[in-house]
Amino acid sequence: MKQPSGPLDGILVVDLTRLLPGPVATMMLKTLGARVIKVETTTAPDMLRFLPPHKDRVNVAFAALNQGKESVVLDINSEEGAGVLQRLCSKADILLTSARKPWMEARGLSFESLQERNAKLIYCTLGSYRAGSEREQLGGHDINFLAVSGLAQLLGQSAPVLPQVQLADLGGAQYAVICLLAALLERGRTGRGRELHLSLEEGCDPYTHLARELSRYAPQLTSVGPLSGESPVYRFYRCSDGKSIALGAIEPKFQTRLREILPIPTSHWPDDLFFETSDHVHRELEELFGRESRDYWVDFFAPHDVCFSPVLEISEVDCEGQLLQAHFSVDQTAVSPFGSDTRSVLKELGYEESEWTDTLLSSLGSADGVGEPGQT
């Protein structure tokens, strides 16, 4: 039985990105049905390959992000290697790159030169900082984008906090996917592609937009308030086993139910537990939830809808398969070995084996065009 195709079936994406943000974006496009060809250079493969931990000689994160993508390896610094990439882009719908503009231009890979070959190409640069800013051509990582966006300070309230999840990188990936899908819709109307200059700094905007607006009128709400744990019914509580629960009873109906089912007196509590900061209610709930284990409270609250949830360890989270796979049934194969699809893509692009010169074969990374980076 033929595997159902996703909404992006027939869309070809050339992935010229590394590490986390770009590969996450193309992973989402792949899960939506696009064909993704990951292009790495012989001199600078995706460094995520080399970082621990490894399983079956493949970095675990790299495998998760690049599952089902085709792997092509080229020496893009050579004229022939760059030529292969130019020809590949002439057939692509989307090029996503994290390389800086001067590097792309020097290899004949600017938007203008590629659009001459393919007017329908959507050319997306996912850079570090906002286009047109003084930092635009500087390098950066998640910590830098959290810093300049204000998100690090916002998360930490009194001091900047570095979360264990790369919020800017992942936010930037989702931002890129949204913009690329919008560009595909636009192309359906106009018949032409476009150039997108996106940044990981902008990936923080959805998190900080409301806080920036609030800061103009109520600066205190950006750092403290009912949604920052000041409210006794919107916070985490530790249980007797050291695990935690989350309570989010904002609306009056949930607060009413909570008062009715809790095994302690509540008549002396304020009418509105969300907007009124109440230290004594907080202490009473802290003492109550600390009497029993997390699983006890899971069972206790199971029949009641009061915006309660257990705080799960990442190993407890039930989320099988690829991102979006629950909604789009697209086949996901194992991660391709380094450069294993180079020969088939060359043939698809019209290269005859007689054209595979020593220079071109050398640009593929090994004598036969296949091999793990660092191997001879």
| Structural domain span for residue 199 | 12-207+337-363
> Does residue 17 sit in the same domain as residue 145?
yes
Task: Quote the CA–CA distance of 61 and 55 in Å, as a whole number.
Answer: 10
Is the overall model pTM greater than 0.75, yes or no?
A: yes
- Regions of the chain where pLDDT drops below 50: 1-2, 365-376
Residue 29 CB-half CA count within 13 A: 33
Specify whether 74 is located in the same domain as 202. Answer: yes
CA of residue 12 relative to chain centroid, distance: 20
Question: What are the pLDDT digits (tens) for 56-96?
Answer: 888 899 998 999 999 999 999 989 899 999 999 999 999 99
Place of tokens 């790369």: 166
User: CA 137, CA 340: separation in Å to the nearest integer?
Assistant: 33
Co-location of 82 and 188 in the same domain: yes
> Are residues 56 and 199 both part of a single domain?
yes
Q: Flag whether 6 is in a domain.
A: no
Q: What CATH number should be reported for the domain holding residue 263?
A: 3.30.1540.10
Residue 230 and residue 202 in one domain: no
Token digits for 103?
Answer: 């590097």
Please tell me whether residues 172 and 271 are part of one structural domain. Answer: no
Residues 6+ apart with CB under 8 A from 372: 57, 337, 338
Characterize the bridge pairing of strands 234-238 and 195-199.
unpaired
Overall residue count recorded for the chain in this entry: 376
Is residue 324 included in any domain, yes or no?
no
Looking at the fold, whether 197 and 266 belong to one and the same domain comes out as no
Distance separating alpha carbons of residues 195 and 192, to the nearest angstrom: 10
Q: What is the pLDDT of residue 142?
A: 93
Residue 218 lies in a domain: no
Q: Would you say residue 122 lies in a domain? A: yes
Separation between Cα atoms, residue 83 and residue 77, nearest integer Å: 10
- 283 and 137 share one domain: no
CATH number, domain containing residue 346: 3.40.50.10540
Nearest to 7 by CA among 197, 191, 180: 180
- Cα(58)–Cα(65) distance, integer angstroms: 12
Same domain, yes or no: 169 and 47: yes
Q: Indicate whether 138 and 171 sit together in one domain.
A: yes
Between the alpha carbon of residue 58 and those of residues 331, 338, 364, the distances in Å are 21, 10, 20
> Into how many domains does the chain fold?
2
Would 215 be classed as within a structural domain?
no
202 and 248 belong to one structural domain: no
Are 292 and 237 contacting, i.e. CB atoms less than 8 angstroms apart? no
Please check whether residue 240 lies inside any domain of the structure. Answer: yes
Same structural domain, 16 and 164? yes
Answer yes or no: is 74 within a domain: yes
Residue 348 lies in a domain: yes
